[in-house]
Chains A and B, each alone.
Chain A
Amino acid sequence: MAVIPKFVGERIKRREDPRLITGTGMYVDDVRLPGMLSAVVLRSPHAHAKINSIDLSKARALKGVVCVLSGDDLRDKVGPVPCVAPADHVPYHPVLAQGKVRFVGEGVAVAVASSPYIAQDALDLIDVDYDPLDAVVDPEKALEPGAPVLHEEFGNNSVTFASVPNPAVDEAMRKADKIIKARLVNQRLAPIPMEPRGAVARWDGGYKQLTVWSSTQIPHLLRSQLAEMLKVGENRIRVIAPEVGGGFGCKLNVYAEEALVAHLSMTLGKPVKWIERRRENFAGTTHGRDQITYLEVAALKDGTVTAVKAHFVCDMGAYLQLLTPAIPGFSGLMMTGCYKIPALSFDQQMVFTNKMSTDAYRGAGRPEACYIAERVMDMVAAEFGLDPADVRRKNFIPKEAFPAPTAGGLVYDSGDYELSLNKALEIVGYQKVRAEQEAARKQGRYIGIGIASYVEICGIGPSALLPPKLKGGGWESATIRMEPDCKVTVLTGVSPHGQGQETTFAQIVADELGIDIDDVNVVHGDTAVVQYGIGTFGSRGTTVGGPALMMSVGKLQEKMKKIASTMMEVPPDQLIFTNRTVALASDPSKSIPLQQVVDAAYGYKQPIPGVEPGLDATSFYEPQNCTFPFGTHVAVVEVDPETGVVKFLRYVAVDDCGRILSPLLVEGQVHGGIAQGIAQALYEEVVYDESGQLLTATLMDYAVPKAHMLPRYELSATVTPSPVNVLGVKGVGEAGTIGSTPCVVSAVMDALKPFGIRHIDMPLKPEKVWRAIRDAQQKG
């Protein structure tokens, strides 16, 4: 019999890919049910307007139209769109606008018809009488007296003001050699999953059972929220997240349309489908970032940073989605980055504007934090004429200091930041590249070298760190079931949508049970099948879902060992699982086939004292701390001074996500992450004009980078296991996004150093770079 190899640590191809690339995966839009109706939502063309009246009569009269509703028809019928994060002002957020619209794209009415074409025709027949109001899109202007107020009941546009003061900061400022000030902007971004959102609902009146297929990252949390919005028991709702074509945080949410299709199906008695169009996705799916930071940095001549003080203005948009006001907190807490900056204080003013809500987007608060920390290091280097690598070394938390408490009140689990910096610089050939840069400058070519050392926070737990009103916590669940034929089913509470846990979890289980990877089936994303779970976001899938799985694997092993021990007449602790057998650890040739143990558990013809029949185990894992992946990215770019175009020459990324279970998947996550981070640095920006019109509402205007706009990645890793969990993993879903943005900005600024340019706000589009150079030349 062939020996079954080990899988963890091997470059295994994703097991989910064959069905995805052959078109046999099932997405929400592939759900086709008998009698299914289509819903299409009419959206506000105004950023801010009073609704005087809505005439639905013509739309209702159109042939093929089943029903047309506006916000008023849903009053008291469907609860508001929830926000579970604390804020001083949480506005009522109806599923369809009532009396007023507050951003372009807000739902105003819904038409349901036998086809989406007819439903769309019906929308054209709806007559809405609006009184346009002044809109405010700039969060700083929204705070000024006299600014248009979005939610009159609050009297102004403040969502919350949160402050984390620290008197030590003022002390450090007094003693500093220099106080460096800056205003940094993390522009608004659109997450742009390849698959937009979508939902299908089917109410089965006989069974009193609601099934909702939704493109979501959080099937169970969605079920809990839908139960509240619809006043249906959670035991009567089944949420299925089928194939989900990317989320990046924007599907870590509960949206109006999900409740809307459910309500429609319950009232019409037929399945109802709503599929988001790309334009709606731009206008009505949560955005990310949109933070302005005013910084004061206390620094000593030798490059030591002694304190950071920050004032944030955070644009929340018009309403608060599930976690909207919780995101900026991470930017504040993680702002000291990899550095032993002793004093930190910050305050955050969160603001309503006439725009779509912001919420989690890949990195959620940490890209902003890392951008701030890394700009600080570069500014200090520039101020004192020091090498940016040396300034980082000077300030790094040393590896001996872990677990390391931070000025933000967190405890970093493990790290070796200097190792990662040194490795990245070695790969890029730092001294050589610096020499090339010097030589190029003499020829009038502008090469820049950018460095970003990042640390971020994943697998957020313990549960007390999550918003009190969130139905779930920071834990995760897993069930493992050894089926009678010796094949294994894993039910995980995480909801992978590109992360690849069908592969990683199968690798883990196969190794632990000595079986083949093909013997393991990982099931997720169906609340009727899987025990309550939290879902996938914040790089928690393997970091929190993995340890939960390990707990269940342990329980199953224990039971199987007990059974085998009676069959083999050896103590259970001397047994191991290998090659589809249970074997004696000291002499694996003494073994019995795993199948015999399974038969004993299921057949149970000979009762085993103290052992119940069957073979499954469920666990809920509560993490005791978060994990803190880190790394260093180095970019070498060349700026064309005539056009402002930035060209990549090199891109080196050294990431440390703790123990690497699946190298290929880790690289994939890093690749995509870097692409999205570079997108923020150079290309992407959600643009509203002053009246609140969305100018980037299509992919012809919103610049998601294509392959030719990205560098060739040179990836490497260091491995510093996390002591927080048994797997030693830290998470890698967002790392690439976090390290790359400041790295690229740093490189461009380094290239522009001869012009005396120190800062340009992102995205560093050719025109901005060109203008900065021209202005500098005119001054100089």
Chain B
Amino acid sequence: MFPASFEYHRASSVKEALAMLQQYGEDGKILAGGHSLIPMMKLRLAQPAHLVDIGGIRQLASIREEGGKVIIGGLVTHHAVERSDVVRAKLGMLSECAAVIGDTQVRNRGTIGGSLAHADPAADYPAAVLALDGEIKIEGTGGSRVVKADDFFIDLMTTAVQPGEVLTEVAFAPVASGAGFTYLKHRQPASGFAMVGVAALLTLDKKGNCDRVRVGITGLGAKPFRAKAVEAALLGKAPAPAIAAAAAHAADGIDPLSDIHASADFRAELARVYTRRALETAAARAKA
């Protein structure tokens, strides 16, 4: 596997990275963990003339709490998310999700910013980030903006991040105490990516009815999405009797992907089954 030739640049700050990206324009590409980009370069499916390595920008590699939110830098590795005490305590679903991405080597190199920006339709994080209502900060030469997870994923491998921009951090409000959640994935047997992945989160009111439901689904369609029909069908209801009927809406309005691993039919069925199971687990873990 021999990539085409390219020049390598290492940025020491976001500002420098942005300047480099502006300079190289279409020929420049950000390199983070390299675990999506480099395989593509080896197959010559990607042939950037300039790689801008942001791996040295240490402030992007931290997890911090600020203004009541947990903020995860774009360069934080899957492993760090999985192991972070703060994430475990306040965003348990995200660390559960990070723990099932790829294998140890992948988790040690791959970054949350890279995964979200790359937006592989079978990536795991997007489901959890949608269910957790993450807010994604994007910086460009003209300044920065924050995009809600709901608006971030645009199409197959297309997100709100524009060429020349850097995804710098993802912010989350901590999950309410008593909330129940899980991330459940059916692995594609070769790649280990999600054939279907479902992130489910729910909270119960005093009567034990669902007063907040979030379901993020990845792997099913060209882009990850929130299963709003499922959420609506469950809202205000006691979970146990309503989950099965609600989960039946998991694939509503989605044009499922189809490949040698799973046809559209089967993917849709998996989405329904995994949504039901994920919601059942979430409900069992939730405290009224």
Contacts and interface: CB of A to CB of B under 8 A. Distances in A.
B260 A695 contact: yes
Interface stretch (A115-123, A390-398, A593-601, A622-630): A115-123
Interface in A144-184: none
Contacts of A701: 190-191, 260-261
23 contacts: A40-B2, A117-B2, A117-B3, A120-B2, A121-B4, A121-B5, A277-B1, A278-B1, A279-B1, A643-B186, A643-B269, A687-B260, A696-B190, A699-B191, A700-B190, A701-B190, A702-B190, A704-B190, A765-B189, A766-B266, A767-B261, A767-B262, A771-B266
Contacts of A706: 103, 192
A117 B5 contact: yes
A642 interface: yes
Nearest to B5: A117
A683 interface: yes
A130 interface: no
Question: Which 9 A-B pairs have CB atoms at the shortest separation, nearest pair first?
Answer: A703-B189, A703-B190, A700-B191, A120-B2, A767-B266, A117-B2, A642-B273, A116-B2, A701-B190
B43 interface: yes
B118 to A, nearest CB: 14
Contacts of A121: 4-5
Interface of B: 1-5, 43-44, 103, 186, 189-193, 260-263, 266, 269-270, 273
Contacts of B263: 767
A642 B1 CA distance: 40
B265 to A, nearest CB: 8
A770 interface: yes
B273 A643 contact: yes
- Give the most central of B2, B43, B103, B260: most A CB within 10 Å: B2
Q: Helix, strand, loop or mixed for chain B's interface?
A: loop
Contacts of A771: 266
A31 interface: no
A702 B189 CA distance: 8
Given A116-B2, A767-B261, 10 more contacts: A40-B2, A117-B2, A117-B3, A643-B186, A643-B269, A696-B260, A700-B191, A702-B190, A704-B190, A766-B262
Nearest to B267: A767
Interface residues of A, number: 31
B48 to A, nearest CB: 15
B277 to A, nearest CB: 9
A767 B269 CA distance: 10
Nearest to B269: A770
B34 to A, nearest CB: 16
A401 interface: no
A770 B103 CA distance: 27
A278 B269 CA distance: 33
Contacts of B1: 277-279
Contacts of A702: 190
Interface string A273-290: 000011100000000000
Contacts of A278: 1
Nearest to B103: A706
Interface string A702-726: 1111100100000000000000000
Given A695-B260, A696-B260, A770 B266 contact: yes
Nearest to B273: A642
